[in-house]
Amino acid sequence: MTEAQRFPIFIVVTLVVFALILRVVMRKRASRPSLFAIAVVSCIVVVGGMLFAKLGNNAGWPWWIYYTAPALVTLVLPPIAFRFSGTELWQYLILAFLSSPLIHAVFSFFFGWHEYMPFLHVPSMQD
């Protein structure tokens, strides 16, 4: 499978994980946001962020642009859009920071797909 074929799989898995993070963080609310609102914010953060990073990488932009811009959207948009409480914010920040390396580690270790976070090498089970 080529990198171009794997990229949509990375997006879908990350999108599902991110939406689940939002659901977990807001699980104790009396009035939870709609699934539509969660889906819209998740698509902006994940799909938009990953496409922007891919575009920036392919265009030869400095890494600090194509990693920092999506990271800032990830850190800022959900807390503002869903008006996180202090507890929700801390839960969200921890889970959001841990999710990308974890997804990368799973894909790298089990499938040998190392392009999700190429600067963080995780050996493959196949090696």
Contacts of 124 (CB under 8 A, 6+ apart): 108, 109, 110, 111, 112, 114
- Give the residue from 65, 62, 36, 49 showing the smallest Cα distance to 116: 49
Question: Band of the pLDDT at 121, cuts 50, 70, 90?
Answer: confident
d(CA 9, CA 82): 27
Q: What is the percentage of the chain residues whose pLDDT exceeds 70? A: 97
- Check pLDDT > 70 for residue 118: no
Asked whether the beta carbons of 10 and 49 are under 8 A apart, the reply is no
What's the whole-model pTM score? Answer: 0.90
d(CA 75, CA 93): 7
